[in-house]
Amino acid sequence: MKWFFSQTILFLMSSCSPLTADRQANITSMLEQQADRVMALGEWEERWQQNKIGFHQPEVHKMLKKNIDKVLNGRTGVRFFFPLCGKAVDMKWLADMGHAVVGVEISEKAIRQFFEENNMTYSEEPVPAIPGAKVYKNSEKNISLYQCNLYNFSNSIEGQFGAIWDRASLVAVNPGDREKYAALIISLMANDCRYLLDTLLYNHDLYQGHGRIWTEEQLVNYIQS
Ligand SMILES: C[S@@+](CC[C@H](N)C(=O)[O-])C[C@H]1O[C@@H](n2cnc3c(N)ncnc32)[C@H](O)[C@@H]1O
Ligand SMILES: *[C@@H]1O[C@H](CO)[C@@H](O)[C@H](O)[C@H]1NC(C)=O
Ligand SMILES: *[C@@H]1O[C@H](CO)[C@@H](O)[C@H](O)[C@H]1NC(C)=O
Ligand SMILES: *[C@@H]1O[C@H](CO)[C@@H](O)[C@H](O)[C@H]1NC(C)=O
Ligand SMILES: *[C@@H]1O[C@H](CO)[C@@H](O)[C@H](O)[C@H]1NC(C)=O
C-alpha cells in the first residue's frame, strides 16, 4: 500500500499482489461487468434489478477504517462525497460519526435499499437543477443521495467537499469518460479536501486482459494533471 500526497490530493492504493484465490474471485466478479467495454447507464440499472452486485460489500471497507484518521486530518463534521455510491455501508458509518454524506448513483433501487437496509427513513424530492433527477435524504444523519447520471452533478448542487471516498468508482468509469470524471472530481474538492482512492494495482504479467485496470503511474499522472 502506498500513499501519495499532492497538495490536497491523497491517494491510497492497495496493491493486489500476490492474488489469493478468493481475492482474485472478488476482483473477477467486480470486473466481469466492466471488462473493456462501455457500460451504458441502463445496463447498470439492469444489474441492480437482477441483483448482480458482486461489488457491494456488507462491511465497512477495511481501507477506509484503517485510514480514516489520515482522511479526517483532525477535522470533525466533514462533508464527504461518494461518486457512484451504490449502497455502500461506509456512508452510514461516516454519518454515524457526525459527518455529512452526499452520494450520486443512477440506480433508484440501490438508493432505496441503502436506506431500507440501514433502517433509515428518507424523503424524496426532485432536483430542479437536474431534469429527471431526484434526491433522497435522511436529514437526521445528513445523508443525501442523488439519483442521476454522475456527469449531470456539479458543484452548483451541493458545493464542494472536505473529503471524497472513491471506492470502485474510478475503476468503473468508461474509458471515454475518464477526463470528465477527473474534471468533475477536482471541481468538487474544497481547498482542504482529501481524496481517498482505493484502486487495484495489478501485476500485469500475472493478470492480463482487463483494460480497466490502471497502472499506478497512469493514475497518478491522470489525476495530478
Ligand atoms: C462498481 S459499482 C460501485 C458502487 C460503490 N462505490 C461500492 O463500492 O459499492 C458502480 C456504481 O456506479 C453506478 N453508476 C455507474 N455509472 C454511473 C453514472 N454515470 N452515474 C451515476 N451512477 C453510475 C452503478 O449503478 C453502480 O452502482
Ligand atoms: C470477497 O468478498 C467476500 C464477500 O463480499 C468477503 O467476505 C471477502 O472478505 C472478500 N475477500 C477478499 C480477499 O477481499
Ligand atoms: C447536518 O445537518 C444539520 C442540519 O441541517 C446541520 O446543522 C449540520 O451542520 C450538518 N452537519 C454536517 C456535518 O454538515
Ligand atoms: C434493521 O432492522 C432489522 C429488524 O429490526 C435488524 O434485523 C437489522 O439488523 C437492522 N439493520 C441495521 C443495519 O441496523
Ligand atoms: C446530463 O449529462 C448528459 C451526458 O453528459 C448530457 O448529455 C445531458 O445534457 C445532461 N443533462 C443535464 C440536465 O445536465
What spacing in Å lies between the alpha carbon of 29 and ligand 2's midpoint? 11
What spacing in Å lies between the alpha carbon of 115 and ligand 4's midpoint? 11
Ligand 1 atom at minimum distance from 34 CA: 1
The protein residue whose alpha carbon is closest to atom 24 in ligand 1 is 44
For ligand 1, is residue 157 a contact (CB within 6 Å)? no
What spacing in Å lies between the alpha carbon of 65 and ligand 3's midpoint? 22
What spacing in Å lies between the alpha carbon of 114 and ligand 4's midpoint? 12
Asked if residue 87 has pLDDT above 60, the reply is yes
Q: How open is the CA angle 57-104-88, to the nearest 5 degrees?
A: 15
The protein residue whose alpha carbon is closest to atom 5 in ligand 2 is 57
Query: Please, which pLDDT band fits residue 63 given cuts at 50, 70 and 90?
Result: confident
For ligand 1, is residue 150 a contact (CB within 6 Å)? yes
Dist. CA 102–CA 114, nearest whole Å: 13
For ligand 3, is residue 100 a contact (CB within 6 Å)? yes
For ligand 3, is residue 158 a contact (CB within 6 Å)? no
Q: Is this prediction's pTM over 0.75?
A: yes
Tens-digit pLDDT profile for residues 123-158: 999 999 999 999 999 989 999 999 999 999 999 999
Alpha-carbon Rg for the chain, nearest whole angstrom, is 17
Residue-number span of the structural domain to which 120 is assigned: 2-224
Tens-digit pLDDT profile for residues 198-212: 765 444 444 444 444
Asked if residue 164 has pLDDT above 50, the reply is yes
Asked if residue 161 has pLDDT above 80, the reply is yes
* CA distances in angstroms from 56 to 33, 113, 127, 144, 172, listed in the order given: 13, 12, 27, 19, 13
What spacing in Å lies between the alpha carbon of 124 and ligand 3's midpoint? 18
pLDDT, the chain, mean: 81
CATH of the domain at 140: 3.40.50.150
Asked if residue 31 has pLDDT above 80, the reply is no
What spacing in Å lies between the alpha carbon of 148 and ligand 5's midpoint? 10
Residue 165 identity? W
Query: How many domains would you assign to the chain?
Result: 1
DSSP type of residue 76: S
Q: How open is the CA angle 27-61-20, to the nearest 5 degrees?
A: 35
For ligand 1, is residue 199 a contact (CB within 6 Å)? no
